[in-house]
């Protein structure tokens, strides 16, 4: 036997044994032993008037953590956009070429299916964003669903309407406003004398749309940020793949 194979077998055997040993000590499947989840389940609805226990953890109790996550997404989107902008040795093709090149690629059936899917996707996205404090979902999930509606528009071959529906100035504004809004809501807590991101808005009646204080407001901002960020990224990718060519020297 080759020495490499022997080395692998010894390592694999050791790895399997260690893994088995580690798995042996785990609690049984479905037996939750941490105290934190039970505490949240018992308190979240009473303290924050939110019928979803996840939303208060993400946007309230641990809200500062989520600000960081939101800014990571913001930085990632900005980084991709900066990298994808037309470079010095590249150039953009004129608009006339764009329509000619794009019109023949998409089949009639995928156009119909993609266009028909857009309205329900938008409604679903909006629903998931604004009901984040009532049922599973929230700004992140709903935001990506909204962005998927934008991608469908592109899949339908409507690249030029894609540009018309999302002018770059509006994308810029949405991206910055979404990320900034979250931080501003946090500052409101500071101005009232409480801690950053304290839930200072009126809590309302549990289970209604206008309840849970700052949580639904933050969800809307996050929804805008995520939806715009992903559409922006896809938009820049599309620009790059379809329109930007290397300068023929």
Task: Pick the binder of other proteins from 56, 137, 174, 223 (CB under 8 A).
Answer: 137
Helix (H, G, I), strand (E, B) or coil at 244: strand
Binding segment for other proteins among 61-69, 92-100, 138-146, 172-180 (CB under 8 A)?
Answer: 138-146
Contact 62, 48 (CB under 8 A): no
Which of helix, strand or coil describes residue 92? strand
Site for other proteins contains 129 (CB under 8 A): no
Q: Which long-range contacts (CB under 8 A, 24 or more apart) does 44-51 make?
A: 45/206, 48/199, 48/203, 48/212, 48/213, 48/215, 49/203, 49/204, 49/205, 49/206, 49/211, 49/212, 49/213, 50/133, 50/134, 50/206, 50/211, 50/212, 50/215, 51/133, 51/134, 51/135, 51/206, 51/207
Distance of alpha carbon 71 from alpha carbon 83, whole angstroms? 18
Q: Does 138 bind other proteins (CB under 8 A)?
A: yes
Backbone angles phi, psi at 85, to 5 degrees: -55, 150
User: Which region, judged by CB under 8 A, interacts with other proteins, from 12-20, 64-72, 209-217, 233-241?
Assistant: 233-241
**Between residue 181 and residue 220, which ones bind other proteins under the rule CB under 8 A?**
none
- What is the closest distance, in whole angstroms, from the C-beta atom of residue 3 to other proteins in the complex? 26
Asked if 234 interacts with other proteins (CB under 8 A), we say yes
Decide: is 134 part of the binding site for other proteins (CB under 8 A): no
Q: Which is nearer to other proteins, 137 or 181 (CB)?
A: 137
Q: Which helix (H) or strand (E) is 96 found in, with range?
A: helix 95-103
- Tell me whether residue 213 or residue 239 sits nearer to other proteins (CB atom): 239
Q: How far is the CB of 105 from other proteins (least distance, A)?
A: 12
CB 150 within 8 A of CB 194: no
**Sole binder of other proteins in the list 148, 171, 185, 222 (CB under 8 A):** 148
For residue 246, give the 3-state DSSP assignment: strand
Write the interaction track for other proteins spanning residues 44-73; mark x where CB under 8 A is met and - where it is not. Answer: --------x-x-------------------
- Choose among 178, 219, 220: nearest CA to 74: 178
User: Judged by CB, which is closer to other proteins: 73, or 185?
Assistant: 73
Instruction: Examine residue 88 and tell whether it contacts other proteins (CB under 8 A).
Output: no
**Would you count residue 156 as binding other proteins (CB under 8 A)?**
no
Which positions lie near other proteins, rule CB under 8 A? Answer: 52, 54, 128, 136-138, 140-141, 144-145, 147-148, 151, 230, 233-234, 237-238, 240-241, 246
């Amino acid at each position: 036997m080759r020495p490499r194979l022997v080395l692998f077998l010894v390592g694999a055997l050791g790895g399997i044994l260690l893994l088995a040993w580690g798995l042996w000590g785990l609690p049984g499947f479905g037996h939750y032993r941490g105290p934190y989840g039970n505490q949240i389940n018992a308190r979240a609805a009473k303290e924050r008037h939110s019928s979803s226990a996840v939303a208060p953890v993400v946007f309230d109790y641990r809200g500062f953590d989520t600000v960081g996550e939101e800014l990571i997404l913001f930085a990632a989107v900005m980084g991709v956009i900066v990298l994808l902008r037309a470079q010095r040795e590249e150039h953009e093709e004129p608009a006339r070429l764009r329509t000619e090149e794009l019109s023949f690629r998409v089949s009639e059936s995928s156009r119909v299916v993609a266009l028909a899917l857009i309205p329900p996707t938008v409604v679903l996205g909006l629903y998931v964003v604004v009901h984040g404090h009532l049922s599973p979902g929230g700004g992140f999930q709903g935001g990506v669903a909204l962005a998927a509606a934008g991608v469908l528009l592109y899949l339908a071959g409507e690249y030029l309407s894609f540009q018309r529906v999302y002018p770059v100035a509006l994308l810029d504004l949405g991206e910055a406003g979404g990320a900034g809004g979250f931080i501003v809501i946090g500052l409101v807590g500071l101005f009232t004398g409480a801690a950053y991101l304290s839930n200072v808005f009126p809590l309302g009646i549990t289970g209604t749309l206008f309840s849970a204080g700052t949580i639904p407001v933050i969800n809307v901002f996050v929804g805008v940020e995520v939806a715009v960020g992903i559409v922006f990224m896809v938009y820049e990718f599309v620009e790059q793949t379809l329109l930007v060519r290397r300068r023929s020297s």
